[in-house]
Homo-oligomer: A and B are copies of this chain.
Amino acid sequence: MPRPDENPLARVVEKLGERAPIPDKAIAAILQMPYVVKQLYRGDLFVREGATADKCGILTSGLIVCQKKNCEGDRQILSVKIPGDMLGLQSLYLETPDHNIQALTRCRIVIVPSELLKAISDEFVVVRHAISRIMLTEASMLRELILNIGRRDARARLAHFLCEFAVRTGGTDKINNRSFELPMTQEQLGDALGLTAVHINRTLQLLTRDNLIARVGKNIRFVDWDRLQDIADFSTRYLHLEK
């Protein structure tokens, strides 16, 4: 298989491969899809609610979110996509997107026609199982977010977000004392957690004061992972990491 820098669709194969072993024929079919690499800038939309959806893709760098706005224009972020995540899979089966997909930072995506990926998934059982599992895992993460926003206070909510982000970007090993970049503004964090930027700021200070995390700019270090996880009521089950 080509390296991602030779054919960026290799990232798609990798992603699907996390969920099920993909046979060579399917790999070949995926790698042969026509694709477009596109750079997005902060705020750019890849998919617009209510438009027509005929493309999907994969994020290769930067951060993208799914979001919706209420009638007053307040934004609610529904999910944060990290490099390697698929984008707009909904378009394989639904015509009209029910949410926006928007760049949070400058980022790079690889776009393919939904039709083609759908055709491949219709042909190869394993591919469609992998895609189904990805779609269901996305739904599971939405559920956890509902619990997070509906039944946890700001402290637990933010702690939970940090736990999830750390596990998704860096895996489950040696998290204590690990430090990582969180390239989001406090306003974006607020939009992701149903809070205001001001309150995010105060809550970050709270977590810092309680010796749960340490911060230097956008860099965050887990000072006491176990306790943070406890406070966050975090478990990885909903991420469905099992193969």
Contacts and interface: CB of A to CB of B under 8 A. Distances in A.
Contact of A140 (B92, B98, B240): B98
A184 interface: no
Contacts of A99: 140, 143
B129 A93 contact: yes
Interface stretch (A9-17, A24-32, A36-44, A68-76): A68-76
Contacts of A68: 143-144, 146-147
Contacts of A50: 237
Interface residues of A, number: 49
Interface in A156-198: 156, 193-194
Contact of A132 (B92, B146, B147, B242): B92
A95 interface: yes
A67 to B, nearest CB: 9
Given A70-B152, A98-B240, A238-B98, A76 B136 contact: no
A146 B147 contact: no
Interface string A122-159: 10010011001101111110111111011110001000
B151 A74 contact: yes
B139 A242 contact: no
Given A78-B146, A142-B146, 20 more contacts: A49-B237, A70-B156, A70-B233, A74-B151, A75-B151, A78-B147, A92-B132, A93-B132, A93-B133, A94-B137, A94-B140, A96-B240, A98-B237, A139-B142, A145-B146, A146-B149, A146-B194, A149-B149, A149-B150, A149-B194
